[in-house]
Every structure is written in C-alpha cells, then in structure tokens.
Chains A and B, each alone.
Chain A
Amino acid sequence: MSALLWALIALPLAVGALLTAAGRYADRAAPAVAVACATATLGLAVAAALRHPTAEAPLLEHLPVRLAVDGLSGLTAVTVAAITAAVLLFSAGDIGPGESRARFFGLMLLFSGSMLTTVTAASLPVLLMAWEVMGATSWALIGFWWRDPARGRAANTAFLTTRAADLGLYLAAGAALAGGQANALALDGLSRTAEPWLSAVTAGVIVAALGKSAQLPFSFWLSHAMRGPSPVSALLHSATMVVAGAYLLLRLEPLLSASGWGGPAVAWTGAATAVLLGLVAVAQADLKQLLAASSCAQIGFMVMAAGTGSVTGGTVQLMAHAAAKSLAFLVAGAWLTALGVRTLPALRGSARRHRTAGLSFTVSALTLAGIPPLSLWAAKDLLLAGALAESAWLYAVGLAAGVISAVYAVKALWFVWRPAPVPGSGVPSVTPVSGTGLPRREPSASGTRLPGTAPAPGSGRPGRPTVSGSGPPGEPPAPGTHLPRMPAAPGSRPPGEPSASGIRLPRVEAPPFVLLAVACVGLTALAVPPARDAVARVLGGATQPVPVAWEFALSGGLALLASAIVWTWGAPALGAPWTDWLRLEAAARLLLVRPTIRVAHALAVFDDRVLDRAVDGVARGVLALARWTDRRVETGVDRAVEGVASAARALGRWARGPQSGQLHQYLAQTVAAFTVLAIALVLVR
C-alpha cells in the first residue's frame, strides 16, 4: 500500500530532478518524458485516491515522515496530477525546441511533485519541506526567461512575498511543539494543541496559507507571477502554489473552528478577497492580469469555504476552478504565443480565428462566471450555504463576489468574440488611454459601447491597435506586448506578424484544450445531488449545510443577469486603484520594505558611527592610557627603583665607612660602643 504512495510523490520528483540536472542534453526527450511521467503520476494518483494508502518513514525521534491520502487529499492529488498532465501536454507545443526544455519540464515536474507531497503530507515537517520546494521551484519557473531582468525581478517579488508569509508556518510548527502534546506535529492533531499555543498555531497557518494563496494583503505577487511562461501560470494558478494555501486551510478546518476566531477571520478575508480582487480583475485590460486577479477572487471562495466549515463546497470549487482556470490560462498562453499580444482589445476576434481554442475558452469563462449549470455555479452555492449558516452578511458578500466573477469572465469573453477590426474600415479602433487601463472605444456599428466612456477622437492605428498595456503595478508598461523570445526560439511559429487570417496553433495544443473543456463540463455533474453527496461522503467529516432550491436559482439568476448586462452594455470602467491591484504592492513597499531598508540603513549608520567609533575610541584610549602610564607611572616606578638603588649604594658607602682598616679607628669605635653599653648598663640598673 505504502509503495503506491511513495511512488506517487517520488516519480515526478525524481524525473523532474533528473531532467533539471541533465540540462540541455535532455532537451529533445524532455517533453515526451515529462508527459509520460505526468500521465503515470495521474494513474498513481487515481489509484491512491481509491485505496487511501498511508506511508511512514523515520525522520527524527518521534517525528516520522507521515504521508496519507484521505478523501480531501485524494481528490486534490488527482486534480493536481490531471492538470499537470494537461499543462505539460500543452507545454510540449508552447515551449519551443529552442528553449531549454529539459529545465522547464524538469522544474514543472518538481513543482507538481512538491504540490503532491504537500497534499499528501500528514505532518508538519513534511509539509514544510514540500512547501519550501514549491516556493523555490515557483521562483525558478516564474523567472524561467531569466535573461529579461523584469522577469527576474518578478520572480524575486513573488518568492520574497510568499517566503515572508511562509514564516507563519514555522511559527505554527514552533508553537505546536511548545504546545507539547504527543505527536504534536501531525496535521490532524494540531487542533488539540493547548490554548495559548493554539492561537499561535492558527495565526501562523493562516498567514502562510493566505500568502501562498495570494489572498488579500499578499495578492500583488500574483500579478508579477504573470511574467512567467503561460504553462507556469496555468499550473501555478489552478492546481499548485496558489491552491496550496486554500488546500491547507480546508485540510486544517478543524483547527480553524477549534481556535474560535480563526474561522470567521479566514472567512471574511476570503470574502473580501473575492470581492476586491474580483473588481481588480474587472479593471484589468490585460488578459493574463485579468485571469490572475480572478484566481485570487476564486480562491477567496475556497478560503471562505474553509472559514465557514463547508469543506465539500470548497473542494468542489477547488477541482472545478482548477480545470477552468488552467484551461483559460492555456488558451491565453496559446494566443499570446501565436499573436504576440496580450491586451484584451488587441485580442479581439482571436476566438473566431482559432475555433477550438475559442470554444474551450468560452467553456472555461462561462464556468468561471458561474453560469448554471456549470460546475462553479453549484460549487459556489454549496459553500455559500455554509456562509449563510454563519451570517447573512457573509452570504451577501459572497453573492456579490459571484456577480463580479460573472462580470470579468464575460468581459474577457466579449473581447475575444468581437470581430477583429479590419484595417482601413470604420470599425471600432482602440485608442490608448493611460490611467484607467481600460481601452475606450468609439461607438461601433453594432451599437455596443462601454458605459461611462466618452468617444475619443479617432486615433490609434487600425489593424494593430496599440494599447498601453497596464502591466503589473509598479513596473513600466512592458515594451510592446511581445514575449521576448530567444532569437533561435521561434521554431515553427514565427512570432509577430499576426496576419488577419490568423496563425495556426500547434496541433499538440488542441488535445489539452478539449480534455480540459470536457473536464469543465463533466465536473458539472458535481452539481447534481448523487455526485455531490458522493463527494461529501468521500470527504467525510461533519454534515454541512446544503443549499435549497432558491439559493441555486438566486445565484444562477444573478450570474446570468450580470452576464447579459455586460455582454450588452460592456463592463464598467474602473479607475486607478483597481487597475494596479489596489496599490497593494506600493503599500507593501511603503509599509514594510521601505521601513525595513530605513531601519537597516539606520543600523548601518549606527554601526559605522557608534559601534565602529566606539571600538576605535577604545583603542585610541588604550593607547593614550599606555602613553600616559609610560610617562607618569613608569617614570615614577623607575625613579623609585633608582632611588632604592642609590639609597642602597649610600647605605653601602656609609656602612663601608667604619671598616677603614685603621686599628686606631676600630679602637675608637670599640671604646665608644663599650662606653654606650656601660652607660646603658648603669642607667638601666
């Protein structure tokens, strides 16, 4: 039994490590090997999910490596393995022969392998190891095109942000050890920690999970992570890294409810993220940025589910979102590679040119929008039922977040299905508008226009509209929106020159699209009671509130209504704080980075001016003291010694006086001595 579990995590990790170590020698074989490995891993994951194995190996005394697969981790592991396989299949076409493919595929396998370890870990030490490997490989993957400094910086920002939050997990581990019950570091035993430490454990876990999941205070790193290759984004956003935080919170739901305050705090953070980052997604003009912000928002729902204890809803949301979001990212990546553009207005008509990709994107966008009867609609209602049981306000906020998700999904859909502007005709052209990030359009022939936008004087080149791409906040807009590929990279696909007839997407990219689209539709079955109850049974645990019919109708109706409004009148234009991700990064820089650097600077100055000088001063003082001692004390001692010597000499001279050798003097001395003796004798008598 346990061999199955060991194989599940060892296979991707070992193959990934081998590929990464082999380097360019393995470039030709890498895609095939990686896809085969991912497929085998998927098989192992399915087997593990069915048989629920456990494994144990000694690590430290009383702290064994424990891996276990139960309902939740089984479903998540299957999701991770399936998404990895699809993404790697896509990457075989997307990452061209000129790239260092072995490094890419190796790192991707390591990445998903560490996620599988995270999912199957049953004790904190293993979880921490996997968590760290995941952070490191995500850094290497986001900065995969490391020759571009901006991508390197993006990788560093993502790594530092998640890493800073990761410290919470170490705090949790320390507090759990301090709590001191037997087998303290087992994940299912954390909720039994004694009270003062229980809060510390909860806080640490929450901070680490929110950081990895890019929830509210930490969201900005996800915007930077978009600079990595598209397959990385697809994997990172759907099944690994970002989901890891939500998964951890779902896994440790007993801990959240045991602490008392953890549940509501997490639920409200998730709800706030779902609403605010949803609005950020609405404001984006860049497809990948829109999808990134929507990941934060959608994972906000999972976090909310963990906070309210509706684990079933959260898990269904996790699986359905993984399928939909990876599909969306893959299609966006395919367009990005094929057309060389990433802003929404520039992508107009791309869905018409690539029918398979366009239809797949439609399926995923409608799933994200929560249109009934697709899977995310039902998942959202499942977890919103838990929120309603908790508080009506939380339910209302969650419902609003669902409406917002419909708005941004349909906004993206609207752009990719519009007909592409034909050069020289009077069809809408796009003009750059700085600041809002939303392109303003002239009233078009079809009569649709975005509300709140004024017709701009017709400028901008037709054909290849130039739009000031609102890149990640804090960075200058990317020069052009092309992917800087390596010179020899293009291979079969010359970048740029997207002619109106369109460029064929690589043949190998179609199967993952279709597979994932089928998965999106297929997961809809989870909305129907028998499948839903089966998931709940697999997950086990306490019975959770089940939504009644009017809730389904309300959320579905709202999503349909919002979609219809956006499709007809366009999405609302949102201003500055929304387009640059609520200025979270600026806030982090202002509140954390700059004070830290200031403090460091002040400490350096203190070091230079005070400590350094003190040491120098002590040295100088010692020297001066030595000189003074030399001058004053030493001469005194010298003089004293010489005085003693001369006194001894004088005494010697004086004592030599009587010894003259002159007999008459000796006689005189003797007479004098005897006289004194005699007088003394007489007087004493």
Chain B
Amino acid sequence: MSLDLLLLLAAALFSIGLFGALTQQSVVMLMMGLELMLGGVIVGAAAIWHFLTPDAADGQVLVVLAVTVMAVEMAVGFAVVTALFRTREVDTTDMAAELKR
C-alpha cells in the first residue's frame, strides 16, 4: 500500500462521486454521488495524514470532522427528500425544480 495508490483511490472515488452528482437526477442517487465525493476526500485526507504527518493528530481531527459532517448531511438530506416525497411524491431534481409549495 503506498500513498500513490491511496490518492488514486481517493481521486477515483471523488471523480465517480462528481460524475454521479452531475449526472443523476434522482435525489437519492445524487446524494450517493455526494457521499462518494466526501468519501474520496476522507480517503485522501487520511492517506496524506498517515503517510506524511503520522505524529500530528491534526489529520485525524479533520477526518473525524468530515465524517461528522457527512453523517449530519445524510440525515438532513434524507429528511428533506422524505418530506419532499411525502408532500409531492417527487424523487428527482427535475421535478423538484421549484421548492415553493
């Protein structure tokens, strides 16, 4: 396992996530893309911390923060999607173009 491989994995994850975020219309799928991008960021950040500054705890803090943010975001995102679907039976971004009413 080397830093290169891990960065490659992080880039791949981020790119796949970006692609998903850009191309998907389903809100769920879009959020999955976002998760993948965050996952890529977390992998990249963890790998850089592990290989470059293993003594300092800064990287761990960043990772933990990112994971927390991801969890909160997931919770909020799913709540919004669920509310949307309940009121308007909508699950794609196209149909939810107007948030009013």
CB distance from B28 to the nearest CB of A (A): 14
Chain B interface bracket (under 10, 10 to 19, 20 to 34, 35 or more): under 10
* Cross-chain contact B93 with A667 (CB below 8 angstroms): no
> Chain B residues with Cβ under 8 A from A661's Cβ?
97
A664 B97 Cβ-Cβ under 8 A: no
Residues of A within 8 Å of B97, CB to CB, are: 660-662
Q: Does A663 contact B (CB under 8 A)?
A: yes
Bitwise, B14-52 to A at CB < 8 A (1) or not (0) is 000000011111000000000000000000000000000
- Cα distance, A660 to B95, chains bound together (Å): 11
CB contacts (< 8 Å) of B25 on chain A: these are: 662, 664
Number of A interface residues in the complex (CB < 8 A): 6
B94 beta carbon closer than 8 Å to chain A? yes
A residues less than 8 Å from B93 (CB atoms) = 662, 664
Docked complex Cα distance between A662 and B93 (Å)? 7
A673: shortest Cβ distance to chain B, in Å?
15
Which A residues from 645 to 685 make CB contacts under 8 A with B?
A: 660-664, 667
User: How far, in Å, is B37 (CB) from chain A's closest CB?
Assistant: 13
Check A662 against B22 for contact (C-beta < 8 Å): no
User: Are B22 and A663 closer than 8 Å at their CB atoms?
Assistant: yes
Among A660, A661, A664, max chain B CB count under 10 A is at: A664
In the bound complex, CA of A664 to CA of B22 (Å) = 5
Whether A663 contacts B94 by the Cβ 8 Å rule is: no
User: Which B residues between 70 and 95 are near A, CB-CB below 8 angstroms?
Assistant: 93-94
Contact assessment for B23 and A667 in the assembled complex, using a CB-CB cutoff below 8 Å? yes
Q: Report the bound CA distance from A661 to B25 in whole Å.
A: 12
**Chain A nearest Cβ from B30, distance in angstroms:** 8
B94 touches A667 (CB 8 A): no
Max chain A Cβ within 10 angstroms of own Cβ: one of B21, B22, B24, B97:
B22
Shortest distance from the beta carbon of A368 to any chain B beta carbon, whole Å: 128
* Residues in A neighbouring B21, C-beta threshold 8 A: 663
Docked complex Cα distance between A667 and B22 (Å): 7
* Alpha-carbon distance between A664 and B23 when the two chains are bound, in angstroms: 5
Residues of B within 8 A of A663 (CB): 21-22
Residue interface bits A622-664, CB-to-B below 8 A is 1, else 0: 0000000000000000000000000000000000000011111
B94 / chain A contacts, CB cutoff of 8 Å: 662
B23 partner residues in chain A, CB cutoff 8 A = 664, 667
Bound state CA distance, A667 and B33, in angstroms?
Answer: 15
Determine the distance from Cα of A663 to Cα of B93 in the docked complex, in whole angstroms.
Answer: 9
Closest to B21 in A: A663
A667 neighbours in B (Cβ, 8 Å): 22-23
Report the Cα distance A662→B25, complex, angstroms: 9
B24 nearest CB neighbor, chain A only: A664
13 residue pairs A–B, Cβ–Cβ below 8 Å: A660-B97, A661-B97, A662-B25, A662-B93, A662-B97, A663-B21, A663-B22, A664-B22, A664-B23, A664-B25, A664-B93, A667-B22, A667-B23
Chain A residues in the interface with B (C-beta under 8 A): 660-664, 667
Extra inter-chain contacts (7) besides given A662-B25, A663-B21, A667-B23, CB under 8 Å:
A662-B94, A662-B97, A664-B22, A664-B23, A664-B24, A664-B25, A664-B93
Q: What are the 9 A-B residue pairs with the smallest beta carbon separation, nearest first?
A: A667-B22, A664-B23, A663-B22, A664-B22, A662-B93, A664-B25, A662-B94, A667-B23, A660-B97
